[in-house]
Structure 1
């Protein structure tokens, strides 16, 4: 990953959540932060800004610790928020905190979740949806990219997230989103939407891969690529072109996809 990052001269890194297994961080002084982040991603090409979102495993720990600016003082690359917007020259990235949308976590009594800042849940979800919709509607960037931890479309072990299909997908379709990127499923995959331009990109191959539980048949011709193993992906954008590449842990390219987009200005 470090070698690929250096070769591509990346601008930043996106982490799709579940940043610290199995139960997030215990606090801002938890050594897991440096052991699992600072001391792992040491390659020169990865010394860029990291934009991270929370996964369901992060919610099992101290959520405020991951959001704390104290961690950015320990490692300046770290930035983690619940939902936020990153405006780049070519694209608008909208990061969405998807865990509070998923009903089952609120009835999971085998694990403890840190819901501070989420209740009242209905207001939290309504605010997140309103922020996403207004941000996408007002975006003037050439590419619109939404990032969440949970999948909307996936042939992996966890599969589709019905709550996101119900609440978030209509917003993505209505606002011409180009890519939805997620983690959660421990695999790499690319699914093309058959009813919109949206490309669904799963990059969850950081650990616990090789599950061997897939559902290809559900997607028919929409499935462009699936890899039930560890790896990562890259996104390269120009004013008219986007190129997606998936890699194994050795940096070998497993899948490459390119699209050209025409933009028409109005006077």
Structure 2
């Protein structure tokens, strides 16, 4: 299964907040021998969120989605997920219980008796209205859960958490440890590269193509840098994939660079 990430919120696209989810999700996956296949940013626009989820729900990927699951007017993710599935929102009984636990905790901390029927507390229950058939994701920070739904394809699932990193990250980690531990470190992976100075990519391309043709379990990457006051113009050139083939491909790459009389060094 491929793994995807959807980050929802106008505040990210406007620059009001800097996204921290992308690097953290990469970290969580890398620690477990997993890789992120794709990521998308979506603003707080219902039609676009619904269309995005309808498309991704039709696939077989494991998808982490963060942002927009609250109960304020700019939170649309829960409603859009339901619309994408063509099902109604329902107050999840476990979510109701957890939200009321949080209401009780907050009231006791303030030294008052919780009134679960107060208008503001009834409104808080909307945070537990998830698409019909959803399951909850526990939230160790404040007990207000996220939710998960199965993909319409019958394979894969979507996991929804709040936009707050302090909540989303442990929730995503719980999903990985609880649902996908059997996928950890199943595919061996290696990566090696060199810095090639003052060379044109067009000169290196035939060698790169030949390496990928000879080693089908390896991908070649080429990341040009225009240079700055600290380093000359160079290309970060390397191979990644199956460790055994990476070793062989890397030797082939270095031999090819020597044949081209290219200047290259291992990264420091």
Q: TM-score normalised to the size of structure 1?
A: 0.25
Q: TM-score normalised to the size of structure 2?
A: 0.25
Q: Larger Rg: 1 or 2?
A: 2
Q: Which has the higher helix share?
A: 2
